């Protein structure tokens, strides 16, 4: 069974909906769910005022409506499945630890920010700082998987420490900004300054990328891990081609201004 929450009307002010996680809704009756309080602008509002509640079964929750002004959907979720049928505002899945969050439309900025585990799937495009670190944090995403079927905004994976971010479309500027580790796969174009300040992380790019001069060419080879990673992404539904899986990649090491153990792997043309 699916618990469905349908937005009654487009909210007049931003809504902070961190309570809408499958694990937080588990065990609650319909009246208890309707009484949950959310921030609506600068006041507390009952969930039932904003959303119509139907069905049950908190392990599978579906939120329906124009959710562009609803922030924090699925933030901190630890299990279950949450589907956002109308896109998502900022901070969707931020800090999530487990379960699966599926955004059927676009996601706002900070989607999956500092997430620790689980899987975030964005069927549309994602905003800035996808899987990124909040200001003052030492690290961004620390585990799990983020899959974006559209484009991603700037500074995707900023501060990335662990985990996998994959974007089918274009990735904005400064992907992997100051990332200590982890992996970013850009199946589309990669914006300027990728890997700026990166320490150990990996960026895999399928097109020639405008690299910073602090990256140095190492060699061209077939990294075995890329095969493994791309096969997993294909199994998860991203459009990965055989040529990308079997391809040769040029390894660029950097950022020379930092530790220099990071890498940008760019796909070469056929031999």
Partner 1 sequence: MIRHHAAEVEDTFAEAFTMWGARIVITAETPVWAGHAARSLTGFATSVIGCKCEAGIERELEAAETPDGRPGVSALLFAPDRDGLAKRLVERVGQTVLTCPTTACFNGLAAEDEVDVGGQLRYFGDGWQASKVLAGRRYWRIPVMEGEFLVEERFGIVEGVGGGNLIVMADDAATALHLTEAAAEAMAPVEGAILPFPGGIARSGSKVGSRYPALMASTNHVLCPTLRAQVDDSEVPDGIDSVLEIVIDGLGADPVREAMRRGLDAAARSGACRITAGNYGGSLGEHHFHLRELVP
Report in angstroms how near the CB of residue 144 gets to partner 1 at its nearest: 10
Q: Which is nearer to partner 1, 106 or 145 (CB)?
A: 145
State how far the Cα of 82 lies from the Cα of 64, in Å rounded to an integer: 11
**Looking at residue 163, what DSSP letter applies?**
E
**Structural contact between residues 77 and 23, judged by C-beta atoms closer than 8 angstroms:** yes
Q: Which stretch binds partner 1 (CB under 8 A): 15-23, 83-91, 92-100, 217-225?
A: 217-225
DSSP string, 126-151: B-TTTT-PPTT-S-S-EEEEEEESS-
264 touches partner 1 (CB under 8 A): no
Q: Which of 4, 83, 178, 183 binds partner 1 (CB under 8 A)?
A: 183
222 touches partner 1 (CB under 8 A): yes
State how far the Cα of 103 lies from the Cα of 75, in Å rounded to an integer: 13
Q: Which is nearer to partner 1, 72 or 180 (CB)?
A: 180
CA nearest 147: which of 179, 199, 185, 109? 185
- Tokens (6 digits) for 137: 């944090």
E strand spans, 72-170: 81-84, 100-103, 119-122, 142-148, 162-167
224 touches partner 1 (CB under 8 A): yes
Q: Which of 80, 118, 163, 195 binds partner 1 (CB under 8 A)?
A: 163
221 touches partner 1 (CB under 8 A): yes
219 touches partner 1 (CB under 8 A): yes
* Site for partner 1, rule CB under 8 A: 143, 162-164, 183, 200, 202, 219, 221-225, 227-229, 231-232, 245, 261
């Amino acid at each position: 069974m699916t618990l469905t929450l349908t937005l009654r009307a487009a909210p007049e002010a931003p809504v902070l909906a961190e309570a809408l996680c499958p694990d937080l809704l588990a065990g609650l009756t319909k009246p208890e769910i309707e009484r949950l309080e959310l921030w609506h602008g600068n006041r507390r509002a009952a969930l039932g005022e904003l959303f119509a509640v139907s069905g049950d079964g908190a392990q599978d929750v579906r939120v329906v409506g124009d959710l562009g002004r609803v922030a924090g959907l699925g933030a901190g979720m630890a299990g279950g499945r949450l589907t956002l049928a109308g896109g998502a505002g900022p901070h969707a899945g931020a800090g999530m630890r487990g379960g699966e969050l599926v955004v059927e439309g676009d996601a706002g900025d900070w989607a999956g920010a500092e997430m620790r585990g689980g899987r975030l799937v964005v069927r549309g495009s994602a905003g800035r700082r996808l899987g990124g670190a909040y200001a003052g944090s030492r690290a961004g995403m620390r585990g799990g998987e983020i899959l974006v079927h559209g484009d991603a905004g700037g500074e995707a994976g900023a501060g990335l420490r662990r985990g996998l971010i994959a974007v089918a479309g274009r990735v904005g500027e400064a992907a992997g900004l100051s990332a200590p580790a982890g992996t970013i796969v850009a199946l589309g174009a990669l914006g300027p300054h990728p890997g700026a300040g990166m320490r150990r992380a990996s960026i895999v790019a399928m097109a020639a990328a405008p690299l910073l001069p602090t990256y140095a060419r190492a060699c061209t080879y077939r990294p075995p891990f890329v095969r493994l990673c791309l096969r997993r992404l294909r199994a998860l539904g991203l459009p990965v081609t055989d040529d990308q899986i079997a391809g040769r990649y040029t390894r660029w090491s950097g950022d020379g201004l930092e530790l220099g153990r990071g890498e940008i792997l760019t796909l070469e043309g056929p031999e």
